[in-house]
Amino acid sequence: MDIKDKHRKKLLEAIVYFASNVKNPTKMMIYKMLAELDFRHFEQTGLSVTNSVYVAFEKGPVPKKLHDEITQDKKLVFPDDFKEALSVQKEEFVDKKSGKDITKFTILPKRKADLSVFSPRQKKIMEEIAFIYRDSFATTASKASHEYDKPWYKTIKKSGLGSVIDYLEQITHETPVTKEEAKELQKEASAFKSNYNG
């Protein structure tokens, strides 16, 4: 299925890439890596990669639209345009420590990622993230993602669990654009996309 929306195409290819390059590509792990990609790129440029909106959940950042789209009761179902590239493996077990029932979704790639949709900077960031999380489990990744300077940590502190994580919080003195400029970039990019995409 041909995906016309470039941000959605990037979202799919980033998931395929991460699922192919880490040992434990669980749903939460993939969410964390997507958030790392978007927020690191935003810090460096003032633009996100996949245009996803993230909310701060207890276990880390969650891409709201994707999560709502693939979560059906206790199942994970990919939308039609993602099915040619991804499949899912479900595992249910009881956690020995807590005694709680756990459902684990592992995301599996069906093909290689098409990296031509990304810029060289985006590819470089993806490689760095895959390297960092290559051998991690979701729990250790979760700890990493809760570091005090991460935007989702700041969001929980400031606005509470379930709040939208503000990309602008990621702007530092090293970001080449100001908060105002980043807002303008976002506004103009959305407008152009809705007028001239595909």
Partner 1 sequence: MVKAGEIYYDPQYVYPSGNMEDKLLIVLRETNSPNDPVILLPVTTNKGNQHYKDGCNKSKYIFYLRANEDFFVNNTIVQLHILNGITPPSQSNFDKLIIRKSIQYKGKLRAETIYKLIECLQSMEMDIDSDIFRLIFS
| 195 vs 73: CA distance, rounded Å | 36
Binds partner 1 (CB under 8 A): choice among 76, 115, 132, 168: 115
Decide if residue 191 touches partner 1 (CB under 8 A): yes
Contacts of 85 (CB under 8 A, 6+ apart): 12, 13, 15, 16, 109, 110, 111
Size of the residue set binding partner 1 (CB under 8 A): 34
Binding of partner 1 at residue 189 (CB under 8 A)?
A: yes
Residues 27-66 close enough to bind partner 1 by CB under 8 A: 45, 47, 49, 51
Specify the residue, 21 or 51, whose C-beta has the smaller distance to partner 1.
51
56 neighbors 142 (Cβ within 8 angstroms): no
- Alpha-carbon distances of 141 from 16, 25, 155, rounded to whole Å: 18, 11, 18
Q: Report if residue 7 touches partner 1, rule: CB under 8 A.
A: yes
192 binds partner 1, rule: CB under 8 A? yes
**CA distance linking residue 44 with residue 135, whole number of Å:** 26
Per CB under 8 A, does 117 bind partner 1?
A: yes
Q: Which residues bind partner 1 (CB under 8 A)?
A: 4-7, 9-10, 45, 47, 49, 51, 115-121, 123, 176-177, 181, 185, 187-198
